[in-house]
Structure 1
Amino acid sequence: MSETEDLAATWDRRSVPHAATAVLQRIEGFSATPYDDNGAQAGGTWTIGYGTTRDAKGRPISPLTPPVTEAEAESLLLRDMAGAAQDVARLVRPPLSLCQAAALISWTYNLGGDALAGSTLLKRLNAGDLAAVPGEMRKWIKQGDKPLLGLLRRRWAEAAIFRGLPPAKACARGWAEIDSLDDWPAF
């Protein structure tokens, strides 16, 4: 998809909308070398590139994983996003716009298909309650038992994209307008 895609258009359930990759690149940021995504806390998750947890051969990322180029990172991101898109296409019953699909693919990329499959978010979405999705996204801001400001900003940006905001604007607003775990600006 191009950067000028019509985010109101209906998602074809096969492609990964450009809006999804744009938001993930912006939120995850690029790292050529492996890093512990949990900030060296117990049970850390090693990632590389734009937040991928497996290398090109499917092996888990570790501190010993060789660096990647941005092109390699984009390839890994597209591979992983295709998996998240397949999960969304398989689990979500109602038709989605490109912006709604982009938001759900980003959410699923971060949390996994199992999280989507067992979520109240999916139950409400499949029941036709699209208005409930942003609030359900907001619930997923914890690492372990601890709510994190960075995850709240990410969930707000995903919720804003689900509601139709362009990814760059949603991300910019999320990081500019959310300063505490109590913040949840109007879209």
Structure 2
Amino acid sequence: MASRKSAPVSSAQASPDASPWDGAVPAAATAVVKRIEGFFAHPYDDNGAQPGGTWTIGYGTIIDAQGRRVTPQTPPITEAEAEQLLRRDMAGAARDVQQRVQVPLLTCEAAALISWVYNLGAGNLAKSTMLLRLNANRKSEVPAEMRKWIMQEGRPMLGLLRRRWAEAAIFSGMDATNACVRAWREIDDLSDWPAF
């Protein structure tokens, strides 16, 4: 509900990753992806067989260990194999962020952007107004730009809004666990966007 307001993030809830980003995949990025995607040993359509779905496995991986797209026929994987695929894909997302963002980032900012790229892809980052704002060092505008990326097949999706809010909150300094919990607890419809 849009009327629900939350208290600002206290220093106890602030991300411990407010240091300059060193180019590695921050723990917060992996934590948010694992929490939001969840683990699936078998391939699944990430949109419940609705238009625009993509077959994924593990923690939202779309390319298997042999470099092939995940399909309904992709063999099941273990959680350890899913972790390896996640590390591979998160490293790729981190490289994409590092290559395209031309201003220094804090680790919490990089974590949010890596999660965003993991979900939406480097191509969307490259063409986004969010990247223009970032590279103009207008970081305060990034959360609002993240909020725009909630469409699937032309329709806004509540799950994507929750994910974008969590990423925007992490970018703004909230720890990943708190951001994810609050996103799913406080966002009930598409008009919700609680204060960080």
Task: Determine if the TM-score, normalized by the shorter chain, exceeds 0.5.
Answer: yes
CA contact (8 A) 2:52 2:153 kept: no
**CA root-mean-square deviation:** 0.9
Read off the aligned partner of 2:130 and give its amino acid letter: L
Following the alignment from structure 2 to structure 1, what is the Cα–Cα distance between the partners of residues 195 and 162? 13
Moved over 4 A (4+): none
| Aligned-partner SS, 2:103 | coil
Following the alignment from structure 1 to structure 2, what is the Cα–Cα distance between the partners of residues 180 and 43? 21
Q: Percent identity?
A: 66
**Corresponding position of 1:166:** 175
| Aligned-partner SS, 1:161 | helix
Which structure is richer in relative contact order (CA contacts within 8 A, separation 6 or more)?
Answer: 2
Picking from 97, 117, 141, the partner of 1:132 is: 141
Following the alignment from structure 1 to structure 2, what is the Cα–Cα distance between the partners of residues 169 and 43? 30
Picking from 94, 99, 106, the partner of 1:85 is: 94
**Corresponding position of 1:184:** 193
Cα displacement string for residues 125-168 of structure 1 (whole angstroms, at most 9, x for unaligned residues): 10010000000000000001000000000000000000000000
Cα displacement string for residues 78-125 of structure 1 (whole angstroms, at most 9, x for unaligned residues): 101111100000000111111100000000010000100000000001
**Corresponding position of 2:21:** 11
2:56 paired with 1:47: yes
Question: Residue 44 of structure 1: CA displacement?
Answer: 2.4
Following the alignment from structure 2 to structure 1, what is the Cα–Cα distance between the partners of residues 167 and 76? 29
| Aligned-partner SS, 2:84 | helix
Q: How does 1:116-155 map to 2 (within 5 A)?
A: 116-155=125-164
Show structure 1 runs of 5+ residues with no match.
none
Question: Residue 170 of structure 1: CA displacement?
Answer: 0.1
Read off the aligned partner of 1:116 and give its amino acid letter: L
Picking from 29, 41, 45, the partner of 1:36 is: 45
| Aligned-partner SS, 1:35 | strand
Show structure 2 runs of 5+ residues with no match.
1-14
Following the alignment from structure 1 to structure 2, what is the Cα–Cα distance between the partners of residues 147 and 84? 24
Instruction: Please give the TM-score of this superposition, normalised by the length of structure 1.
Output: 0.95
**Corresponding position of 2:7:** none
**Corresponding position of 1:102:** 111
CA contact (8 A) 2:146 2:164 kept: yes
Following the alignment from structure 1 to structure 2, what is the Cα–Cα distance between the partners of residues 43 and 31? 19
Q: How does 1:38-77 map to 2 (within 5 A)?
A: 38-77=47-86
Question: Residue 38 of structure 1: CA displacement?
Answer: 1.6
